Structure 1
């Protein structure tokens, strides 16, 4: 039966499943005992009835159906519909070629909020996920990019104008903020790092403007890359995702958001079983950066990294998958200052073992800029521990930060 660990979180469902399986086993054992022990004594002994067999067979699927129902009921109130205004035609064309928001169906004027006089018309729709009770909504950058106005429609059909709109094109994550006199129904956050291939998930959004649509599937893959999203590390799912789903929630069977629906791989523009979602752990970090600073501040050290697959490892006479190869070091970068050299193999960063270059890049980016982090490397058979002070991705030398800091200190020390 198609169950996985997510059902453990739903205790009542798990208990129901266990009892149903035990009952099926009892029925089977009793039937076998009847056929063997009573056959001679009572040739007319009856096997389990058809109704009993059907009830036993349906117990598992019914338990899974109940898990879907409970998860959807818990999460749906936190998924919003976004009406977007004022995106230019060039932006719209780019969206139509790559994302889930092609306007395939005409928008009913009575359904969409009317644009004020002399303002840009409605240019697109998408979905969003409420992640805080004070009105912070997570969505995709391509949903709101270049928008002059965003109207958020909540599950109870309340409509609120977004007061803050920020996006990050590198990750395709964006936020909008709305103001409400009452607390809004925020969705509980899951842990996307704990997801495994085969885990059940539900996608909730507004495909084709059909609000609060729920579809089911599994995690089909992890760590997928997309060319148009430079910093992508996507979850792959076969839960149906269609135009209008962008920015919607991918949830687990506990009703917790584990991803943000973002794109599909398709030859005809419609869902063909391959959808992609941004892991929630990545999206939340970016959302906090956007909410607090209006942009994403990414730390960097100034290296070009490569996976130590068998081909590259053989080329440099190194052990495959023993760490991450430092292929290049930017001149005058903080990495060079820390003593990192080309062909070093990074095996640990900030106390954590590393085996994937994208994961290492993410780990570095999320650390505070200016902080000192420990890096363990292997060089010519020796293990070395180095300390690097993180700069920014845009300026791996750290010079701009140093000059800004010196200017600030000089200003603070000047007489009043």
Structure 2
């Protein structure tokens, strides 16, 4: 019996589509929610990372500062080392005027009698091993006799006046002594507000007194008595009468200024020092052009800056602006006024206040010099007969 295969039945109906897995929709929803969560938390995460980095940096700086000042003893030791380093280079200065001796019954001066009038005192610094000493002009102004007491107690009565700069209140003296120890200079331009500074001087005659404070500000302008100052360092280190002319030093014992003025008659938390940059420039100029060869103009100059030019509404970005004209001076007689900007001296360009001082000091007294000026925006040329600096003692 023949076996027959069952007939193959075909259908023209389309095949049924495969059904999708039941979790496909859930997968899409999960992916969407994940993206939303990522978008929401990314800013927070980035902010946390930024905070962590900033906090870590600040923490590292704080830890570094704590290591640098691990204990009060560390800072005290630094102060002790500074005092040991600086004191041998600091001197005490006595200045006095001598009045006429009284006469005997026959009208003749009494022999051996000397009467002292005004007496002053201050401090100074040894700046070279061959005897140059710096102090403030007002310490010795008007004195007939000046003596210098060295850090080791020796007293030098034979004191030579080398040069004076009344505008910056600096005087250069010269003494003869063996074994002098000059100061080490620092750079006042590198100082920052908050830096430790120490003042050394002779407050009320107590020589080699050391006080400490911080740099409170830079580029201060003040008026103390009849003297105007600019570009000063402000500090809260205790400075009193007798400190004038003494050094302001950094934490490495390097001289960054000369203590010059205080607010009021006694220390009140604010004192001022001439920056070492200015002091060094003046010292070199006075040394190169000793008293008797220095010319005199009779103005108090300040560096001309873009800020000052904008304030005065003038087109001058170099030169020296006159902040004060001294009475009975060559400048006053020539017609120079306050706020004049001095641009040229004898045909040579003036770059700044120190450049003007140097050119005037190097000019022979009695010469007539043309001075180029900007006065309220207008060019002007005045003729000045250069004066001669007088001795102070």
TM-score with structure 1 length normalisation? 0.56
Matched-pair contact (CA < 8 Å) for 1:144–1:167? no
Superposed CA RMSD in Å reads: 4.3
Q: How does 1:190-269 map to 2 (within 5 A)?
A: 190-227=186-223, 228-230=226-228, 232-266=230-264, 269=265
**Residue ranges of structure 1 left out of the alignment (5+ in a row):** 1-17, 25-55, 89-115, 341-348, 351-359, 372-391, 404-416
How much has 1:179 moved relative to structure 2? 0.7
Q: Distance in 2 between matches of 1:83 and 1:173?
A: 16
| Counterpart-to-counterpart distance in 2, 1:260 and 1:304 | 19
User: For 1:93-116, what per-residue CA distance to the aligned partner results, in whole angstroms no more than 9, with x for missing partners?
Assistant: xxxxxxxxxxxxxxxxxxxxxxx7
2:163 matches 1:147: no
Contact 1:120 1:148 in 2 (8 A): no
Q: CA deviation at 1:160?
A: 0.3
Which one is further off, 78-87 or 129-138?
Answer: 78-87
SS at match of 1:396: strand
More helix by share: 1
SS of match in other structure, 1:86: strand
Task: Name the structure 1 match of 2:155.
Answer: 159
Larger strand fraction of residues: 2
Q: Distance in 2 between matches of 1:328 and 1:77?
A: 44
Deviation at residue 61 of structure 1 after TM alignment: 2.5
- Structure 2 partner of 1:169: 166
Structure with the greater alpha carbon radius of gyration = 2
Distance 1:264-1:86 versus aligned 2 partners, 3 A rule: same
| 1:119 positional shift | 5.7
For 1:401 and 1:57, how far apart are their aligned partners in 2? 57
When normalised by structure 2's length, the TM-score is: 0.59
Aligned to 1:289, the other structure's residue is in SS state: helix
Asked if 2 retains the 8 angstrom alpha-carbon contact of 1:193 and 1:281, the reply is yes
1:382-393 maps to which residues of 2 (within 5 A)? none
Of 366, 371, 388 in structure 2, the residue corresponding to residue 396 of structure 1 is 371
Q: Of the candidates 336, 353, 360, which is equivalent to residue 361 of structure 1? A: 353
Change (3 A) 1:395 1:175: farther
Q: How many residues align?
A: 278
Q: Which residue of 1 aligns with 2:325?
A: none
Q: 1:315 to 1:65 in 2, by over 3 A?
A: same
The question of 1:179 aligning with 2:211 is answered no
**Could you say if the C-alpha distance between residues 121 and 158 of structure 1 is closer, same or farther in structure 2, counting changes exceeding 3 Å?**
farther
Query: Does the CA-based 8 Å contact 1:87-1:146 persist in structure 2?
Result: no
Once the two structures are superposed, residues 169-190 of structure 1 have per-residue CA deviations (whole angstroms, 9 ceiling, x without a partner) of: 211111221112x231111111
Distance 2:317 2:383 in 1: 31
Q: Is contact 2:371–2:384 with CA below 8 Å preserved after alignment?
A: no
Separation of aligned partners in 1, 2:153 and 2:275: 28
DSSP 3-state at the match of 1:152: strand
Q: 2:282 is paired with a residue of what secondary structure? A: helix
Which residue, 278, 282, 293 being the options, matches 2:278? 282
Q: Identify which of 61, 69, 73 aligns with 2:72.
A: 61
Shift in alpha-carbon separation, 1:190–1:310, aligned structure 2, 3 A? closer
